[in-house]
Structure 1
């Protein structure tokens, strides 16, 4: 069989199951008696084994099978969840992730040696003393509503059936096969109950078998003949339900609950119980979404061109057409953006495992709190934000959180806390990584900055705390006394700043001694279409992102002050840098007149402000960002370009690099 056509689907499904394994193993470590989580982990391992086996990836299937055996022993009550068992399961999970990564890169399974971890897993089973256990009670679990429905249906000539279906282990898409079975049964009547639930079956949260209660007018042989024609089914069992047996069993169950002091649960109580999020999603090829986004971009360019035509032809019809086109493009833009937006949870859910491993390696007790995981951001940001967050979390655990002895001496809880938080702020999404540790030693940072010649001793005396904290983002800067396999090489914070600014965002830091450190990342919601202010410098047009602008004002030429060979202006009591864009952009014919006010745009980067001098303001516009290409990638002052309505190209200024 040529499996290449199914490889992408296998990769996508496997990643989801591995992430589910990772999340649920972390829960199991804290709740070893949680049978629901144990069953969920078992199902994921079982599904992985079947998928890998059907694709011919024997090593991956064998390892998943070894995990499945251990989990099956645990769920049957024959093995306890110990630290050693959890470490082995996590080790096996890491090996599975490595095998999947190799398959994604080379298309074939790599010759990794799994004999050690497999022997470890098998050893747990062999050394376990078998305990007596009772299998789950089989049979129907129908409530009063189902009984009433069956009673009424029998009066109308329907026959109630209990139908149990078991799929073959080689079945690739269990949910799709179950859907075909459901459709076949519904040709004869109605399905009123399923075990597991329909939602769980749709999401493949079941093993190989499922059962339904159906009301049909056909005979058992007719229904069985129809179901036997469906492929990938191992066995089918159909039994007619006796209404008297059900009512008798329900009476016994109610008596048992009453004897245990359990009252009947009301419908309102059931409704108020917390339920699992459905998490329904559809997979869309990102290239198709990018193509759709590009079409929207062209529509916006056409809209801008219409606006230019309107200046010369003042016709009511033209104005109406432009207004209509504007509404259509805005709606289309919103629709496409929603399709591209996915919860940041897909990134955040990687980090509980990261913190768990770091805690073990450093000997610290650390808890990770996640807030705002449902916050949605553009897919492009999701792909890029993971690496910076890894560095920040590793830094928080290694540098920020103190050892249990230090925390006890300071009167702090022995368990340190790292918080990962996401929320919206206007047109930006803000991600915060904070800890309740020792904070950043300002004096130590300043001393190291002077040692590395990042600042002179004289200039160091006049620096503010925020300016000193910015040194930690310099390449090669580290205050660690020794290099560990976690940190100390001085590359982490540099990577964070470079990556965040390449996405048009900013990163700030706030730290207080013995209270903790907080890193604040601000990112635009989308990296494709933004609001800008168009300005002219000489004969050229430039765009400044609206999200970076604080205010536009005019200042007298005489108010520009020279301090240490640098120009500043007084902005509401603050001395902020004055940047002559004509000089920075090398526009030789553009000079500031000796008299009259100068138009300046006050821009911000986090807490920092600067005043940019411009010749003329053209107005606010929604523009499409076009990349500069590899040839111009080193021009840091410009983040991209756009095409204006009249066909001219306007460069988009990168405020982060200007400041």
Structure 2
């Protein structure tokens, strides 16, 4: 049935349900022939099957049901009265419809099912209501007599089971029955002999489409999802508790419980998933009517309409999606005359695209219209006081385009019933963020605009990062977390302050920070060292959230908040973590808005820094390594890869140290010895920077890999040590700049000579 379309599958399921109801109703009608309510219900059911079969081009099915509809119409209107002959004819029609549906399910077509005898039987009842039914040979039903009680038994649309004609066939059938009830202990034995234990014995074992689906109340699914959520919470608590107990058997049982819970959760989630086509199906009409009213030609293309979303999210996405589509037709796509003048096709194209990406659903609304004029957006933002001229000067084109999401912002030249009133895009953004999603826009002037919605698969269970601040625990939705940074006080790292706002220098760029303790009114710690920074992304900005500890990442069940907690404005919900404690879920967009002042301070500081920077400084990407108390910077383009070698694998050959690496013998150079540093006692492994040139590699052993930075380097050539080119202030610490080639020559003068010899020998 995979090759049949969704419409046909739904038609088959509903028709089988209707036929079962018809069997019961016709039998009941025979007992109460004058029930107009029953007659009307039967007529509507047959009419529905007839209409859909005609739409799907099942002509024999349409003709058969039309004949039955004609008889039912006379019975309903009182032109004739229900009698056994009419009941038999209608039940024969139901049996034949069921046979046709079985053929459609098996082959996709009506096959060679003959409907003419039953049509003649029904016609005979119309012409002569008292006439007896035709001979049994004219009825297509497989049973000897299509009595009402037997009609229900013939519901299976697959080929009927024929009684075996020979004793050998009867014995084989009996053997199959006995085999089907064999005990579980016998199954492995037979499997060992090469016999298939679960092989179907014939076509009758195939499950029909009518038996492959059932209708379930939505409230029951919601209840089941809540119970699965509670099971996930309990699973998390058990997993955490067992991790502290060294019992292998209990650990294995817990791992099995973990696997089963995950599979159950995934299966229950699938019951709530519905294709996004449920809301896309209404958009062709929207595009048609709107483009016609505006004198435009717009073709709507849809890709990925089978992509599934939780049903609770479909309703939340419907209005934002509809608004973006209307906006694209109104603002984005030009009139036919304007498009022809620009050398475009007179018909514009609006493309809807949906796909699963990284645990989310990404929906794109793309048009090939005029695009967004960045200069016009910037001027509108200035005129309306959305941004200042100084702020605008520091924004790139993508940030300027994102201003369309500000409340009250609109560039429409005139107000229509579609757009231009200054409402809409901010509401779209707010609605998407309320369900844990994000909205972004990308546009090229003259080529078109793409609106991108990132939507979670479900709201009930999400991946979250659990952190600690003070004595309290909080959960951060994993979708908004870019990376984690530990501010190591022993390495001299610290949080800085610019114009009173906290910032952190991450890879040479200032990152605005939000202190969670200050935001929530918790006791503020006095030190800015030995803390964690969760680098988050929201509202088109990156910012860091300062917390005391990072605990772990786990699936959490989202619980709604009371009204008072919602008023706080920084919480998106609550959950119960693995140890049974309650944790509040942080609202990342709300925290991003609180980071706005710090971001402005960072922008001002970066402008000031750019104005005061010496002209001879330049940007470099460097790997910072720790060697004793000293810090050394290695140009990143001189780093082939980073490795950690077990100490026991480092061997000595003559006066050199070497290590076996990727089927080669790799020379080892200890930078601590080269620079005359105190050699700190080693652990089980040593970090090394592998440098490769012309097929030869060398391992530069350091004591610690600190960071990778991108910064403006102002070098001072005040060092004359071998292998060093000078020093610079990087991350507020004096750092020595390593010349890799000179360092290798200082440690091993024959390294490049041997390289040349090997190249000549090659």
With normalisation by structure 1, the TM-score equals 0.61
**More helix by percentage:** 1
Task: Tell me the CA shift for residue 465 of structure 1.
Answer: 2.0
Measure the CA separation in 2 of the matches of 1:341 and 1:183.
34
Match in the other structure for 1:305? 237
Match in the other structure for 1:553? 485
1:359 aligns with 2:291: yes
1:539 aligns with 2:471: yes
Q: How does 1:189-588 map to 2 (within 5 A)?
A: 194=100, 198-199=104-105, 219-220=137-138, 226-227=145-146, 229=148, 282-310=214-242, 313-555=245-487, 560-588=495-523
In the TM superposition, what whole-angstrom CA distance separates every residue of 1:337-388 from its partner, at most 9, and x where no partner exists? Answer: 1111111111111111111011101100011111111111111111211100
Measure the CA separation in 1 of the matches of 2:38 and 2:94.
28
Measure the CA separation in 2 of the matches of 1:645 and 1:221.
66
In the TM superposition, what whole-angstrom CA distance separates every residue of 1:84-105 from its partner, at most 9, and x where no partner exists? Answer: xxxxxxxxxxxxxxxxxxxxxx
Match in the other structure for 1:638? 571
Match in the other structure for 2:580? 647
Match in the other structure for 1:591? 525
In the TM superposition, what whole-angstrom CA distance separates every residue of 1:39-76 from its partner, at most 9, and x where no partner exists? Answer: xxxxxxxxxxxxxx97999xxx9xx99xx9xxx9x99x
Measure the CA separation in 1 of the matches of 2:321 and 2:38.
34
Task: Tell me the CA shift for residue 555 of structure 1.
Answer: 3.2
> Does the aligned pair in 1 maintain the 2:303–2:352 contact within 8 Å?
yes
In the TM superposition, what whole-angstrom CA distance separates every residue of 1:597-631 from its partner, at most 9, and x where no partner exists? Answer: 43211122375322111101111211111111344
Measure the CA separation in 2 of the matches of 1:556 and 1:201.
68
Match in the other structure for 2:68? 166
Of residues 297-306 and 501-510 in structure 1, the stretch that sits farther from structure 2 once superposed is 297-306
Task: Tell me the CA shift for residue 540 of structure 1.
Answer: 0.4
Measure the CA separation in 2 of the matches of 1:361 and 1:139.
41
* Residue aligned with 2:567, SS: coil
With normalisation by structure 2, the TM-score equals 0.53
Distance 1:625 1:211, change over 3 A: farther
Distance 1:363 1:643, change over 3 A: same
For residue 656 of structure 1, the aligned residue among 581, 586, 589 is 589
Task: Tell me the CA shift for residue 550 of structure 1.
Answer: 1.6
Measure the CA separation in 1 of the matches of 2:271 and 2:242.
33
Q: Which runs of 5+ in 1 are unaligned?
A: 1-15, 21-52, 76-135, 142-161, 233-276
Measure the CA separation in 2 of the matches of 1:139 and 1:334.
39
* Residue aligned with 1:432, SS: strand
Task: Tell me the CA shift for residue 445 of structure 1.
Answer: 1.8
Task: Tell me the CA shift for residue 496 of structure 1.
Answer: 0.7
Task: Tell me the CA shift for residue 490 of structure 1.
Answer: 1.8
Please provide the CA RMSD for this pair. Answer: 4.6
Measure the CA separation in 2 of the matches of 1:361 and 1:140.
38
For residue 536 of structure 2, the aligned residue among 561, 582, 603 is 603
Distance 1:516 1:185, change over 3 A: closer
* Residue aligned with 2:419, SS: coil
In the TM superposition, what whole-angstrom CA distance separates every residue of 1:514-564 from its partner, at most 9, and x where no partner exists? Answer: 111111111111111111111100010001122222211223575544445
> Does the aligned pair in 2 maintain the 1:194–1:212 contact within 8 Å?
no
Match in the other structure for 2:683? none
Distance 1:169 1:409, change over 3 A: farther
Task: Tell me the CA shift for residue 450 of structure 1.
Answer: 2.4
Distance 1:318 1:489, change over 3 A: same
Measure the CA separation in 2 of the matches of 1:537 and 1:181.
74
Q: How does 1:121-132 map to 2 (within 5 A)?
A: none
Task: Tell me the CA shift for residue 413 of structure 1.
Answer: 0.9
Task: Tell me the CA shift for residue 634 of structure 1.
Answer: 3.3
Distance 1:184 1:532, change over 3 A: same
Match in the other structure for 1:37? none
Distance 1:514 1:539, change over 3 A: same
Distance 1:563 1:465, change over 3 A: farther
> Does the aligned pair in 1 maintain the 2:565–2:571 contact within 8 Å?
no
Measure the CA separation in 1 of the matches of 2:287 and 2:361.
23
Of residues 390-399 and 575-584 in structure 1, the stretch that sits farther from structure 2 once superposed is 575-584
> Does the aligned pair in 2 maintain the 1:548–1:604 contact within 8 Å?
yes
For residue 623 of structure 1, the aligned residue among 556, 561, 575 is 556
Measure the CA separation in 2 of the matches of 1:606 and 1:647.
33
> Does the aligned pair in 2 maintain the 1:164–1:212 contact within 8 Å?
no
* Residue aligned with 2:465, SS: strand
> Does the aligned pair in 2 maintain the 1:529–1:622 contact within 8 Å?
yes
> Does the aligned pair in 2 maintain the 1:639–1:653 contact within 8 Å?
yes
Distance 1:424 1:185, change over 3 A: closer
Task: Tell me the CA shift for residue 577 of structure 1.
Answer: 1.7
Measure the CA separation in 2 of the matches of 1:585 and 1:644.
20
Q: Which runs of 5+ in 2 are unaligned?
A: 1-5, 11-35, 77-87, 120-134, 152-208, 593-762
Match in the other structure for 1:34? none
Task: Tell me the CA shift for residue 646 of structure 1.
Answer: 3.0
Aligned residues: 460
Distance 1:194 1:309, change over 3 A: closer
Higher RCO (CA-CA < 8 Å; seq separation 6+): 1
* Residue aligned with 1:554, SS: strand
